Amino acid sequence: MRLATPAQNNGGLSVNGKATRIWPGTGKPGMMSNSLGFAFFSRMLYTARDYLKVVPPVFNNCTVILDQKDEKEARDLYWDARRFEHEKSDEELEAMYRKSAELNPWVAETHIMLSQLLYKREAWSEAAEEGVKAIKLLYDWGTHWDKQISYAQWVGFARMCHMRAKRREAGLKALPSQAISPEARKDAQEVTYLQDIMAEFEKYTVPESLAEKNGIKQKKKLVSSLVSGNSSKL
């Protein structure tokens, strides 16, 4: 058996040789050695689909093959938007994330970033829809693509994106808030309690009709556990 070299499949790390990269790397999404995985998995699942007892919901139930060039361009657009956020206008960032999502619509994190930009320009309905897409993809994959933060955090913020956009669409404040006490002054700043946010998550759970359309099952226990940090109890 021939041993692999660092340039082949170990991301630049080497046991006996000289490392070509410093751990943990830049955090740029992608697989080992800067290669990509969505195109490979889409092709593999497409060919295996007819032989699977349970067909995964990813890639439109394994019926679509993602082009590797599209995947790379989508990844680079996402990464550039993340890196140069403070150097670009919101319009430029929105265009970058939109293009990235068009090229590779199976990345949840892209939809979360786009949802935030839509929320900033008060496109409440579209921001909520992007949040729904992100939630579906995170549930479909059962993991996250951008490893800079945890899966639980991505799920929690996708839920937040959806909930606050739906509240604003209904003419409410972004987050539920109340006076800190009955004796508080009328001009005192209101506070938001975690239990109220969790209640809003339940209230603005993806409607059954939209859930069926997007393939999302009601996973209230999972969502509550992830957001509250108790996923280890599942």
Q: How far apart are CA 50 and CA 66, in angstroms?
A: 18
Domain presence at residue 197: yes
Domain presence at residue 78: no
CA distances 60 to 34, 138, 176, 217, Å, are 26, 14, 36, 16
* Three-state secondary structure of 137-201: HHHHHCCCCCCCCCHHHHHHHHHHHHHHHHHHHCCCCCCCCECCCCCCCCCCCCECCHHHHHHHH
Contact 115, 165 (CB under 8 A): yes
Domain presence at residue 104: no
Task: Count the domains in the chain.
Answer: 1
Domain presence at residue 17: no
Look at residue 187 in the predicted model and tell me its pLDDT: 77
Q: Kindly give the interhelix angle for 90-103 and 68-83, rounded to the nearest 10 degrees.
A: 160
Residue 178 has φ and ψ, to the nearest 5°, of -155, 165
Domain presence at residue 147: yes
Look at residue 151 in the predicted model and tell me its pLDDT: 95
Instruction: Residue 217: give the domain boundaries.
Output: 122-181+188-234
Per-residue pLDDT of the chain (234 residues; tens, 9 = 90+): 433 333 444 445 445 556 666 766 777 887 544 456 899 999 999 999 999 999 999 999 999 999 999 999 999 999 999 999 999 999 999 999 999 999 999 999 999 999 999 999 999 999 999 999 999 999 999 999 999 999 999 999 999 999 999 999 999 998 888 778 777 777 778 888 888 888 888 887 654 444 555 555 544 444 444 444 454 443
Domain presence at residue 163: yes
Question: Structure tokens of 163?
Answer: 């909930």
Domain presence at residue 14: no
Domain presence at residue 96: no
Look at residue 117 in the predicted model and tell me its pLDDT: 97
The verdict on whether omega for the bond into residue 29 sits within 30 degrees of 0, i.e. cis, is: no
